[in-house]
Structure 1
Amino acid sequence: MPSKTLTFVFAAERGAPAPLTEHRCKAAVPVAGKYRVIDFTLANCLHSGLRQVLVLTQYKSHSLHKHLRDGWSLFNAELGEFITAVPPQMRYHSDWYRNAMDALRQNRYLIERSPADSLLLLDGGLVYRMDYAELIRSHREQGGGISCPLRQAGPGTASGGMAVEVDAEGRIIAMRPPPEAGDAYRSTMGVVLIDKALLLERLETLAEAGEAEMAAGMESSMESGADLVTQLLSPFLDGRAFTPSPPVAYGFGGERGRVSQDRYWSDLGSTDAYFRANMDLLKADSPLDLYQADWHILTYQGQYPPARTVPGPSSGNEGIFVNSMLAAGTVIRGGGVSHSVLYPQVQVEDGAIVDEAILFEGVRVGANARIRRCICDKEVVIPAGAIVGEDRRADAERFAVSDEGIVVIRKGQSL
C-alpha cells in the first residue's frame, strides 16, 4: 500500500526559532546532537515503506539540499524510488510558493503523472516518530477521501496545530485555533493523507477561481504544519468542497504500527521550545525514543574521529562530561560539560565550563570560559575567560535572548 502513495514533504519555510533560521530553513536546523529536523520525517517515510518522496524547498535551501544529497541519497532510481528536492516550478505564475496549496498547484504535473492513488502531505519542520504505513492502511479501511492524524494536546504538551472537534464516528466536523489554556484537546500535527483524485479536484477548483481571486484567498503562508492542514481541510468543513464523507481522524500514538509509542511531538516553534526539546533528550526517561533498534533516525555524519576527553595542557585536570550528548570529533581538554548537547568537532578547552548548552558543529570554547543556558550556532568561538549566560542584561546587549533567558549566539557572530 505505501507503494501507491506519493509523499510531499513541505520544507520551504523559514520557520522558528528565528535566530537559528537566518542561514538555513527550519527543516535543516540541527537537533539532538547529530540530526537535522527533516531527518525525523524522512526516517518515518523510510521505515513506513514510502519510497517516492518530493521535498518542496524554497527559503535558503542550500543547506537542506546539501544534507539531502549527502545523507539521503539511498533510494534506487531503477526501482522508481527517489527523494527529490523540488524548488518552485513557476508553472502558473512567476512567484515563489505562496503557501501549501499553491505549492501543490505548481507541482500538479508531478501529481498527475504519478501512478499513486493517494498523497501523503507532511510538514518537514516537526520532530516526532510515526508509522505512516498504518495511517495508509487505516485510510483504506475507512474508505474516506481524507485522513488526518490527531494528537492529544493541552497543558504539559507542545503547542502548535489546530484544535479539532470529532464526532462519535471519528469524523472531523470542526477546526479552530487552539485554546490559550485549560482542558486537553485534539490537535492537528502537520500530516494529511488525501486521495489523489480528490486533491486534483480541489486544485482544479482553485484554478477555475482565477488567479486574482485565488491569490486573494491564499493569504496564509508556508510557515507551519497548521497552515498545511488548515488549507486542505477548511474547504471540506465549511461546505466549499465535498468528499464522500467528512475527513476522518486518525489517533497518533495508538497501538497500531511498528514504532514504539512515545507519543512525542514538537514543532520547535520558538527558541525556548527548541531548547526544551533538546534538553528533554537528556532526561533519564526521555520522552522521545531515539534508541528503538528497528526505527533508527538516519542522517549524514562526517567521518570524524571519536569524541574524547583529555587532561588540560595547563592544569592537568581531566576533561569531564556529565549527562550530556557528545558527537564525533568533539574533544574536552580539561574542561567540564554538564547537561549539554555537543555536535561534531566541538572543542572545550582547559578550565572551561559548559552547562545546559547546545553547541553546534565546530564551536570552540576557550580556556576558563563559562557558558550557561546558551545555544551557539556553527563555528562560534568563545574567547578564553568569556562569560555568557550569567548576566541577562549584559547578554541582551550582545546576543538574542529568549523569553526564558536562553542566549543565542548567531553563526559568525564575534564576542
Structure 2
Amino acid sequence: MENVLTIILGGGKGTRLYPLTKERSKPAVPFAARYRIVDIPLSNSINSGFRKVYVLTQFNSASLHLHLAQTYQFDSFSRGFVEILAAEQGFSHAGWYEGTADAVRKNLHHFRTQNPSHYLILSGDQLYRMDLREFFRFHVERDADITLAVTPVRREDIGRYGIIVSNESHRVKAFEEKPDPRGETEHLKSSQIVPPSHREQGKHYLASMGIYLFKAEVLEKMMEGPYTDFGKELIPAAVREYAVYSHVFTGFWVDIGTIRSFYETHLALATEYPEFDLYDETSPIYTRMRHLPPCKFLNTKIDTSLVGEGCIIKNASISRSVIGIRTVIRDHSVLEGVVCMGADLYETPAQKEENVRKGIPHIGIGRNCHIKNAIIDKNTRIGDNCRIGVDPKERRNGDYGSYHIRDNIIVITKNQVIPSGTVI
C-alpha cells in the first residue's frame, strides 16, 4: 500500500460551479462551514493509508496551493506528502490540460519519481466517505489491471454518468459515457450485480464514480495512446484490451460540481441525521487548523444549521443554513436556507471607522436583513435593511453585477458590497 500514488483531479475552469470558481479553483471552494471541497477526497485517501498525493489543477490555483501548504504537513518519518501540480509548459507540451487523461499524461514524469505500483485516481468535486483499502484489496484479489468504483443509479440519471455492464464476477464487459436514457443499447441493460436494497429504490444501473485504480504499468502504457479523457475515451478502450473490474459502492455519494447540488448538499448536512456524517471520529475530514475563538451567540435563535468557528451572531434568527467561519450577523436579521461562507479576517476598530468614512458596510451581514435561498461567498459586505431572495418568484439564470442567479439560487460573490436597503 505504500506504493499507491493518489492523483486528485482538480477539474478545469469549474464552469458548473461559477461564480464560486470566479477567483479560485473548484477544489478550493469553501465547504460545510470550515472545510474546502478538496478536503473530502484527501481525507478519504489519508484515512485509508494512502498518503502520497498529487492534486492536479490549472485554473486559479493560488488559494488551493496556500490551503494545501498550510494544512497537509506530514512528519519526516511518514514519507507522505500532498503536492499541487498546476499546468506547466515544457519542451514536450504546451501546458494546458486537454482533459482528465491528458492532465495525468503531462505529469507522468513527476509521478514516476515515486516508483508507484498502483495509481489511485480520485475526483476533486464529490462528497463521499469510502474505505479505499477495501477498494484496493478488491483490485488485488482479482489481479485486475483497472478497477472502477461504481454506484447504483436510476435510469433517469444515467445521462449524467459513465454506465457499465459487468458480469457476475464483476468483470466489466461494456462502458458508455453518458448514454441517452431513452436508448435501448447493450449498455443500458439492468445490472444483475446491483444489491437488492438498491433495486427496491429503482436503482438498476451502475454508474462510474470517476474513481479508478490502475496497475502502474497499465496506466503508463495507456498514456502512450491518444486519449485525453478517462470517461469518454480511455476507459472504453481499456475495457476492450485489459482486465477491468467494477467495485460496487453502496454508501452515500454525490457530485457537488453544480450550484444546485452544492447548495442542496449543504442544507442536507445540517439536518439531524444526514446521509453524510461530519461527526464520524473513525474517519474524520481534515482541514486547516485556524485556532479561532468560540462562537458568540447573543439572544439568537438557531435551528437545523451548522455554524463554523469564530462567529459572532446577535439578536438574529437562523434556520436551515450553514454559516462559515468568522461570520458576523447583526441585530434582527433573518436567514433561511442560506449558505454563508464567512470571512478571512476580523475587522479592527480602525478598519470599521474607515468603512464608515467611505460609506460601506462592515464585513458580514447588517441589521434588519432578511435573506433566503442564497449562497453568500467570503468577505461579503451586506448593509442594513436588505431583502435577498425573499420574494417568491422564478428568477432567470444570469450575471447581474454584484450577484448571480443559478437554478433559482442567488449567489453573491466574494468581496462584494451590497448597499443598505438593497432588494434582490
TM norm structure 1: 0.84
| 1:411 aligned partner | 414
Rounded to whole Å, the distance in 2 between the matches of 1:229 and 1:45 is: 21
1:41-120 superposed matches below 5 A = 41-73=41-73, 75-91=74-90, 92-120=92-120
Rounded to whole Å, the distance in 1 between the matches of 2:157 and 2:316 is: 35
Q: Determine whether 1:325 maps to 2:306.
A: yes
Deviations 1:230-286 (A, max 9, x none): 44312123x4xx22x2x1000113xxxxxxxxx111211321111110011122220
- Following TM superposition, the consecutive aligned residue runs of length 4 or more in structure 1 with deviations greater than 4 angstroms are 155-160, 178-183, 392-398
| 1:267 aligned partner | 255
Deviations 1:91-126 (A, max 9, x none): 421231222222222122233332321111111121
| 2:217 aligned partner | 197
1:342-381 superposed matches below 5 A = 342-362=323-343, 364-381=364-381
Rounded to whole Å, the distance in 2 between the matches of 1:281 and 1:18 is: 22
Q: Determine whether 1:288 maps to 2:291.
A: no
From the superposition, tell whether residues 324 and 141 of structure 1 become closer, same or farther in structure 2 (CA, over 3 Å): same
Aligned partners of 1:53 and 1:82 also within 8 Å: yes
Q: How high is the sequence identity, in percent, across the aligned residues?
A: 26
Rounded to whole Å, the distance in 2 between the matches of 1:37 and 1:229 is: 22
From the superposition, tell whether residues 66 and 157 of structure 1 become closer, same or farther in structure 2 (CA, over 3 Å): farther
Rounded to whole Å, the distance in 1 between the matches of 2:128 and 2:280 is: 13
Rounded to whole Å, the distance in 2 between the matches of 1:180 and 1:408 is: 32
For 2:94, the aligned partner's letter is S
Aligned partners of 1:366 and 1:383 also within 8 Å: yes
From the superposition, tell whether residues 155 and 353 of structure 1 become closer, same or farther in structure 2 (CA, over 3 Å): farther
Aligned partners of 2:144 and 2:245 also within 8 Å: yes
Supply the RMSD in Å over aligned alpha carbons: 2.2
Rounded to whole Å, the distance in 2 between the matches of 1:55 and 1:175 is: 26
1:10-409 superposed matches below 5 A = 10-15=9-14, 16-73=16-73, 75-91=74-90, 92-154=92-154, 160-176=160-176, 177-180=178-181, 184-204=204-224, 206=225, 214=226, 218=228, 227-237=229-239, 239=240, 242-243=241-242, 245=243, 247-253=244-250, 263-310=251-298, 318-362=299-343, 364-391=364-391, 392=393, 399-403=403-407, 405-409=408-412
Aligned partners of 1:151 and 1:188 also within 8 Å: yes
Deviations 1:359-409 (A, max 9, x none): 112251111011011100111111100100023478975632222x21111
For 2:2, what is the secondary structure of its paired residue?
helix
Rounded to whole Å, the distance in 2 between the matches of 1:393 and 1:384 is: 25
| 2:198 aligned partner | none
Aligned partners of 2:27 and 2:125 also within 8 Å: yes
For 1:235, what is the secondary structure of its paired residue?
helix
Rounded to whole Å, the distance in 2 between the matches of 1:99 and 1:414 is: 36
| Structure 1 segments unaligned to the other structure (5+ residues) | 207-213, 219-226, 254-262, 311-317
From the superposition, tell whether residues 156 and 76 of structure 1 become closer, same or farther in structure 2 (CA, over 3 Å): farther
Rounded to whole Å, the distance in 1 between the matches of 2:282 and 2:159 is: 29
From the superposition, tell whether residues 154 and 393 of structure 1 become closer, same or farther in structure 2 (CA, over 3 Å): closer
| Structure 2 segments unaligned to the other structure (5+ residues) | 183-201, 344-362, 419-424
Deviations 1:135-182 (A, max 9, x none): 111111001100101011227989843121112221112222155588
Name the count of aligned residue pairs: 373
TM norm structure 2: 0.82
Report the more deviating stretch, 100-109 or 346-355: 100-109
